[in-house]
Homo-oligomer: A and B are copies of this chain.
C-alpha cells in the first residue's frame, strides 16, 4: 500500500501538493454525505482561510473539482455541490471520443458494441408509446436530412433517446461519452461519399422497428449490426488514411 492511501490517513503526511489537500477533503466530505447535492460552500476566500491555503491554490482546487463535475461555480453567486448525477460526473468522458484517433476509436466502438445492443434490448422491453413516438420523430429528422449537420445531430439524438429509455442515467452518460459529433460527422461523410448512406438509414429503421415490436432479441441484433457497420467503415477508413499517409506523409486531412 502506498503512503498516500486513505482520505485522511494523516501521520506520514507525504508532502502532497498544497492544492491537493482541499480537493481530497472536499471530495471526502461529499463521499461521506456531509456535503449534499445543491449545498452551497463558503466563499473561495473563506475556504482558502479554512484550509490554510492561498486563494489561488483554493481556486485551483475548486476548478479541479468543477472539472470533475463535483462542484459548480456561479459567477457572483457562489460555489455549489453539483447534482452529483452521473451525467455531471461523466461529462469529462467526452474528451476520450473527441481526442481519440486510430486504434483507440476501434476500441471505443468495441465497447459500444457491448453496451448499445444490451441497452437497445432493454429499451425494447421497457419503452412506452410516448417514448417510441419521440424516437420515431427523431428518425424522421435523420431520414429527411441530407447527411449534413442536421442529420448528424439527429443521429446522435436517436441513439441517446434509445439509451435513455432504459432509465439508466449512468449508462446514458457513458454511452454519450463514447460518441462524438466530430466522429459521427466523419461516419456520415464517409458513407455519403461511398453512396452508402442508405445503409445507415436502414440500420436505424431496423432498430426502430425492433423497438416498435418490443422485441429485445431483434433490437439487440439490429444494434449490433449497426455498430458493426460503423466499425467496418472505420477500419476501411483507417486503412485508406494509412495508405495515403504512406504515399504523401503529413497531408492526410486535406480536401
In Å, the complex CA distance between A178 and B153 comes to: 28
Q: Which residues of chain B come closer than 8 Å to A67, judged between CB atoms?
A: 64, 67-68, 92
25 pairs, A vs B, C-beta closer than 8 Å: A1-B153, A27-B98, A31-B182, A32-B253, A33-B253, A59-B60, A60-B63, A63-B63, A63-B64, A67-B92, A68-B92, A69-B95, A86-B96, A89-B96, A89-B99, A92-B92, A92-B93, A93-B93, A96-B170, A107-B169, A108-B170, A111-B168, A111-B170, A111-B174, A115-B115
Proximity bits, A74-118, B CB within 8 Å = 1, else 0: 000000000011100110110110111100100110110011001
In Å, the complex CA distance between A196 and B123 comes to: 34
Proximity bits, A13-57, B CB within 8 Å = 1, else 0: 000000000000001001111000000000000000000000010
In Å, the complex CA distance between A149 and B6 comes to: 11
Number of copies: 2
Q: Which residues of chain B come closer than 8 Å to A108, judged between CB atoms?
A: 170
Nearest CB on B from A11, distance (A): 16
* Cβ-neighbour of A70 out of B99, B107, B119, B182 (below 8 A): B99
Number of interface residues of A (CB under 8 A): 46
* Cβ-neighbour of A107 out of B96, B149, B168 (below 8 A): B168
Chain A interface secondary structure, helix, strand, loop or mixed? helix
| Cβ-defined contact, A99 with B114, below 8 A | no
Q: Which residues of chain B come closer than 8 Å to A197, judged between CB atoms?
A: none
Q: Which residue of B lies closest to A96 (CB)?
A: B89
In Å, the complex CA distance between A44 and B170 comes to: 36
| Cβ-defined contact, B119 with A114, below 8 A | yes
